[in-house]
Amino acid sequence: MIRSIHLGEVIATRMPEERAGVRVVRRHQLLVRWSHWLNVPIILGLVLSGVSIYWASPVYQHKPDPVTGNVDPLADIGIWICAHVPGLHKYSNPSDWVYNHVSLGPGMLAVALRLHWLGAYLFMLNGLVFTLGLAVGGGWRALLPRRTDPRDALRMFRYYVGLPLARLRRHPWLHPRFNTKYNALQRVAYCSVPVAGLLSVVTGWAIHKPMQLSWLTGIAGGYDNARIWHFWLMWVFILFVVPHVMLVLVDGWDTLRSMIVGWSTRAQRLEDL
């Protein structure tokens, strides 16, 4: 019995009758693919320069250390790492360890600011390209949250949690079936990241122009709160990217190719429903 929903519309192309063609689904619009990949260097540059800017005046500070005068918990983490990780005992500036590894480096505010402005303007332009791609290709519809999302997200979550154990015990472990482009967990992630991008831009301007755009700074909860929001919005990207890359690699070549070429050969899966 075939269920009725969202079966692909097959467009016959010039195919000789006797030769078998490959059925492919158009998954990602050209502009969406371009902006997706351009985001990689742009966001990386924004994070590296952003942490260097953070160094100049950390959002989170504790009381000055009586010996070193240090107020920055990130410097404490560096000192701890150098004291406890084998091979790092002779690291010349333990308090700079974190900044030396996740930013351009300490003491580089001027160049970090210039890199951050370049990245920020490119990020905003790229956001427009992405939005245009979603609008032209109609892909935005697949990103909208649905009423069924909480229940379906739970099903997917159960699937991911149980998967490793099922694999180990060689038990069959079925992927929940969806007739939509994304499952509910994907939809939550792919919908919230553009929103986080928009909020990063808004809080960024709130910090950058707190006088001329003071109304915007007010919306962001004032200058100091806007800095805190901006800082944690960076973490949304970092926390998204890690499972995002892992799951793509696990899912395989077809998924990766669909973001490069735009096509997926998993047309079959949709029709088996």
Partner 1 sequence: MTRNLEDESVASQEPESSVRERPPQVIEVAPQVLRHRTRRDVLLFGAGAVAALVGGGSLLPERTLKRMGVIQGNKNWPKTEWLLNRSLRFDDDVAEALYSRNRLVPTYAKSQITPLRNNYNGATPDPSYIPEWRLTLDGLASGLSVSLDIRNLLGSFQVHDQITRLVCVEGWSAIAWWAGLKFDDVLRAYPPMAQAKWARVDSSVNLGPRGNPDPYFMSIDLPTARHPQTLLATHFNGRPLTVYHGAPLRLLVPVKLGLKNVKAITRITYTAERPKDFWAERGYSYYDGI
Of 17, 18, 21, 92, the residue at the interface with partner 1 (CB under 8 A) is: 21
Taking the least distance from each CB to partner 1, the nearer of 25 and 199 is 25
Least distance in angstroms from the C-beta of 6 to partner 1: 4
Helix (H), strand (E) at residue 265? none
Of 19, 147, 169, 171, the residue at the interface with partner 1 (CB under 8 A) is: 19
Q: List C-alpha distances in Å: 142 to 181, 182, 197, 247.
A: 6, 7, 18, 19
Taking the least distance from each CB to partner 1, the nearer of 81 and 109 is 109
Take residue 74 and report the two structure tokens written for it: 């990130």
CA atoms within 13 A on the CB side of 94: 17
Site mask for partner 1 (CB under 8 A), range 121-150, x = bound: x----------------x--xx-x------
Q: How many angstroms separate the CA atoms of 61 and 7, rounded?
A: 56
Take residue 148 and report the two structure tokens written for it: 């069924």
Least distance in angstroms from the C-beta of 79 to partner 1: 18
Q: How many angstroms separate the CA atoms of 84 and 91, rounded?
A: 12
Helix (H), strand (E) at residue 263? strand 263-264
Of 89, 151, 175, 209, the residue at the interface with partner 1 (CB under 8 A) is: 209
Q: Which of residues 62-121 bind partner 1 (CB under 8 A)?
A: 100, 104-105, 108-111, 113-115, 117-118, 121
Residue 245 sits in the site that holds partner 1 (CB under 8 A): no
Q: How many angstroms separate the CA atoms of 66 and 71, rounded?
A: 10
Please, are residues 106 and 48 in contact by the beta-carbon 8 Å criterion? no
Q: Which of residues 35-54 bind partner 1 (CB under 8 A)?
A: 37, 40-41, 44-45, 48, 53-54
Residue 228 sits in the site that holds partner 1 (CB under 8 A): no
Candidates 68-76, 124-132, 191-199, 258-266 — which segment interacts with partner 1 by CB under 8 A? 258-266
Total residues in contact with partner 1, by rule CB under 8 A: 70
Taking the least distance from each CB to partner 1, the nearer of 90 and 170 is 90
Please, are residues 13 and 108 in contact by the beta-carbon 8 Å criterion? no
Please, are residues 197 and 119 in contact by the beta-carbon 8 Å criterion? no
Residue 190 sits in the site that holds partner 1 (CB under 8 A): no
Least distance in angstroms from the C-beta of 121 to partner 1: 6
Take residue 198 and report the two structure tokens written for it: 């928009």
Residue 240 sits in the site that holds partner 1 (CB under 8 A): no
Q: How many angstroms separate the CA atoms of 200 and 236, rounded?
A: 10
Residue 24 sits in the site that holds partner 1 (CB under 8 A): yes
Residue 12 sits in the site that holds partner 1 (CB under 8 A): yes
* Diameter over CA atoms, the chain: 83
Take residue 219 and report the two structure tokens written for it: 């919306």
Q: How many angstroms separate the CA atoms of 235 and 222, rounded?
A: 20
Contact footprint for partner 1 (CB under 8 A):
2, 4-13, 15, 19-27, 37, 40-41, 44-45, 48, 53-54, 56-57, 59, 100, 104-105, 108-111, 113-115, 117-118, 121, 138, 141-142, 144, 180-181, 207-214, 223-224, 227, 257, 260-263, 265, 267, 270
